[in-house]
Amino acid sequence: MEFQRVDKKAKTKWRFSRIIALIFAVIPLAVLLLIAFSAIAEDEGSETLMIIGWAVAGLLVLAQIVSIVVYPPIEYIQWAYLIAPDRIEIKKGIFYRTHTVIPISRIQHVAVTQGVLQRPFKLSTVQIHTAGDVMEIQELGTDVAEEICARLQKRVNVKVEQKNAAQAQSDSQAGSEV
C-alpha cells in the first residue's frame, strides 16, 4: 500500500483562501495606515514614522503573497494519507509535521463534510471520529471522499459485527458454565 495525495485542486483552493485572507487583512490595514498617517503628516519629522509604517505594512503583504505562491505546492507534497485494512495514516504539516495512525477498531463513525470554499472546487473532507478526537483527511475530490467514507464505514461495521459476535459467544459460554 502506498500513501495517496490530496486532490491537485487543493493547491488552487489554498491559494484562493489565502487571497481572501490577504484582502481582509490589507483593506483594514490600509485604512488604519491612511488615518494614522493623515494625522501624523501635519507634524514635522513624521516622515520617518510614515516610512516605517509603510515598510511594516509592505512586509506583511509580502509575507502573505509568499504564502499564496510558495506554500501550496509544499503543502501538497507534505499532505498524504494511507488507508490500510487495519489502520489509517495521515501525514501533514510544513513546519510542524504530524503523522497520525488511527486503528480501524478505534473508529466510531465517518462523515464527509464540504466547506464553503471547498464547494466551487468540488473538494470535501473525510472526518474520522474516534472516542477522543476527530481526524480529517482534507481536500479530497468529493467522489473520492464519498468512496473512502463508504469503504471505511463498511470496515467499521464488520469490526462491530465481529466484536458483537465474540461478545455473544463469550456470554453464551459463561451462561452454559453456570
Phi, psi of 105 (to 5 degrees): -65, -20
Per-residue pLDDT in tens (0 to 9) along the chain, 178 residues: 899 999 999 999 999 999 998 888 778 877 777 777 676 666 656 677 777 777 887 888 888 889 999 999 999 999 999 999 889 999 999 899 999 999 988 999 999 999 999 999 999 999 999 998 999 999 999 999 999 999 999 988 888 888 888 888 887 777 666 5
Q: What is the CATH number of domain 80-177?
A: 2.30.29.30
User: What is the pTM assigned to this prediction?
Assistant: 0.78
Separation of alpha carbons 61 and 50, rounded Å: 16
Phi, psi of 7 (to 5 degrees): -65, 145
What does the domain layout of the chain look like in residue ranges?
9-75, 80-177
Q: Specify burial of residue 29 (Cβ count, 10 A radius: 0-12, 13-18, 19+).
A: middle
Does residue 93 come out as left (phi exceeding 0), alpha (psi in the -120 to 50 range) or beta?
A: left
Which cell numbers hold the place of 131? 472516542
Q: Are 92 and 98 in contact (CB under 8 A)?
A: yes
Residue with cell 487495519: 86
Q: Who's near 145: CB < 8 A, 6+ residues apart?
A: 112, 124, 125, 126, 137
Q: State residue 41's pLDDT score.
A: 62
125: nearest Cα among 98, 148, 104 = 148
